[in-house]
Structure 1
């Protein structure tokens, strides 16, 4: 089963494709029994080789910035007809329209489950909200005790400081 971070990375890559005007972007969740090498395929189309390179650059930039990860390998960037970006947990395929129709990866991996982008966004929002609630619960209990301890230390240190300090007038009279 793919991790939440992998799903977030796939979603970020899909939104990068959207931003660069890629067409017919699809996400396939591969069956672990059929494919042991990756969890997802992101497949998208570009109108020309320059757009394909721009899409791959945007995916790489966004994943580097947001997740601090680079692709394990990139193939076909120079030619731009079919760019393959291997992020281990998912693979992004950026095709020119003709090459996508010729190779027809969706047909080759017909055992894969298509993933709806809106459904993926909704699932991730639910999971992140649940994780945040847990984190808030965990943080709130220890913070209360640490605040109490800090307040106690302050009051104790003020008392000891006031006991040690002598008024300046008293020390002059004794001399």
Structure 2
């Protein structure tokens, strides 16, 4: 069983504690689902100061189309199981090269390694506070 990664509490400090508390729980569930299926290079981008579209991006990649779909399904199932929340919108489940799971205040991007390098979300949002997520033993 994969243990949850503890994401620094400091990035969730804001004037709206309910929203960020909910975001932390949501991100924890998403990350746990991704780690269970061995997601690669998981990063959390705090984009609250840069856009009104969302608060956070979770970005990772998989090594095959099968794993990419499994990562998305695992994140969806973990959020549903732990928080009883459904994904608002999802795209790319058929192509499995770039899957987007939109939970409104948290958007998950699951790429193939090639697509991740090509689109460079971390480079595009380089002003965001970026936290690298690692699996804890």
**Structure with higher strand content:** 2
Q: How many residues align?
A: 118
Aligned to 1:52: 68
* Alignment of structure 1 residues 31-110 onto 2, 5 Å: 31-32=48-49, 34-110=50-126
* Alignment of structure 1 residues 1-175 onto 2, 5 Å: 1=14, 2-32=19-49, 34-117=50-133
Are 1:11 and 1:117, in contact at CA under 8 Å, matched by a contact in 2? Answer: no
Are 1:42 and 1:91, in contact at CA under 8 Å, matched by a contact in 2? Answer: yes
Give me the TM-score of the superposition, normalised by structure 2: 0.81
Computing the radius of gyration over CA atoms, which structure comes out larger, 1 or 2? 1
Unaligned runs of 5+ in 1: 119-175
Are 1:31 and 1:111, in contact at CA under 8 Å, matched by a contact in 2? Answer: no
Unaligned runs of 5+ in 2: 1-13
Considering only aligned residues, what root-mean-square deviation do their CA atoms show, in Å? 1.6
Other structure's SS at 1:13 match: helix
Give me the TM-score of the superposition, normalised by structure 1: 0.64
